[in-house]
């Protein structure tokens, strides 16, 4: 089976699974499935960063996401960061600490946790669901448009030190095609009026690009091509969700302020 066929089949399966989970799974199984996603992604992150004694971090993450499944709250992230740092300091007593790896893990964990908080908080309302759906569709549109526009006319590198394949022209193309998608969804579901929707859509797409670059920076630090091998043809969970991990929380927070 070719790599393209693997990507297509995996993408179809993911769409079906996510659609069924998001629209047809009620509490408490919705929250438990979300917590399972958080824990699996945390484990992938821990293995990617090659942290010493990874089982310590994985066990801590397991109890964090278990608590999250019963009550989604930022306090679990703060407690986990404290315990992870205690483990890190204990391990650093005998060997030189790898600060860059550890704090990259905390950075990515924070965005992952904020993403899951946003999903849990908005799921029970139609406008909240409209916000998330519009954001995700915009991020996917931006990713596709940036790829094709970049291949067609990309000349200036966007951030060659982190992701040499991305171009300024591709990023502009992603904005041009993705913003109307988000605005259209948010107007349809009565999430926001026109002008705030346009402004928030621009910020959401830019946040998605920064999330993509953030994960690319972590992989470049480690020297890895993919974050994992969970998804045939796509790499790891982080490879598929990197842009949304930043775009969804930023959109959710700004929507709350608006």
Q: How far apart are the first and last CA of the chain?
A: 48
Give the pLDDT confidence score for residue 232 in this predicted structure: 62
Rounded alpha-carbon distances, angstroms, from residue 240 to 15, 97, 148, 235 = 12, 30, 18, 8
50-60: buried (b, 16+ CB within 10 Å) or exposed (e) per residue? ebbeeebbeeb
Give the pLDDT confidence score for residue 195 in this predicted structure: 94
Give the pLDDT confidence score for residue 97 in this predicted structure: 62
Distance between CA 133 and CA 23 in Å, rounded? 11
* Mean pLDDT for all residues in the chain: 87
Give the pLDDT confidence score for residue 196 in this predicted structure: 95
Number of domains within the chain: 1
- In Å, the largest CA–CA distance within the chain is 58
In this structure, are residues 242 and 208 in contact, taking their beta carbons and an 8 Å threshold?
Answer: no
Q: Which two tokens stand for residue 255?
A: 């929507």
Distance between CA 103 and CA 203 in Å, rounded? 25
Q: Which of 175, 177, 191 is nearest to 134 (CA)?
A: 191
Identify the segments of the chain with pLDDT beneath 70: 1-7, 95-97, 154, 228, 230-234
How many Cα atoms within 13 Å fall on the side-chain side of residue 111? 24
Give the pLDDT confidence score for residue 1 in this predicted structure: 59
Give the pLDDT confidence score for residue 237 in this predicted structure: 85
Give the pLDDT confidence score for residue 178 in this predicted structure: 96
Distance between CA 183 and CA 92 in Å, rounded? 49
In this structure, are residues 214 and 109 in contact, taking their beta carbons and an 8 Å threshold?
Answer: no
Q: Determine the structural domain holding residue 140 and report its residue range.
A: 3-257
- In 79-192, DSSP assigns E strands to 157-159, 163-167
């Amino acid at each position: 089976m070719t790599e393209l066929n693997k990507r297509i089949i995996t993408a179809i399966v993911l769409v079906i699974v996510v659609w069924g989970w998001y629209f047809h799974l009620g509490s408490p199984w919705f929250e438990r499935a979300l917590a399972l996603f958080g824990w699996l992604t945390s484990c992938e992150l821990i293995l990617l960063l090659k942290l010493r004694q990874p089982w310590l971090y994985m066990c801590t993450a397991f109890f964090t996401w278990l608590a999250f499944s019963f009550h989604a709250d930022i306090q679990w992230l703060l407690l986990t960061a404290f315990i992870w740092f205690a483990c890190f300091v204990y391990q650093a007593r005998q060997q030189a600490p790898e600060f860059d790896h550890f704090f990259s893990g905390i950075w990515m964990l924070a965005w992952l946790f904020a993403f899951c908080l946003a999903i849990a908080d908005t799921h029970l309302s139609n406008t909240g669901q409209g916000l998330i759906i519009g954001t995700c569709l915009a991020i996917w549109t931006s990713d596709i448009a940036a790829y094709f526009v970049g291949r067609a006319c990309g000349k200036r590198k966007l951030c060659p030190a982190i992701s040499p394949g991305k171009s300024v022209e591709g990023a502009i193309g992603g904005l041009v095609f993705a913003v109307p998608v988000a605005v259209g969804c948010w107007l349809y579901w009565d999430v926001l009026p026109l002008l705030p929707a346009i402004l928030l859509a621009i910020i959401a797409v830019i946040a998605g690009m920064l999330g993509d670059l953030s994960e690319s920076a972590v992989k470049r630090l480690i020297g890895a091509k993919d974050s994992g091998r969970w998804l045939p043809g796509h790499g790891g969970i982080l490879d598929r969700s990197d842009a949304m991990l930043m775009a969804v929380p930023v959109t959710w927070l700004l929507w709350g302020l608006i």
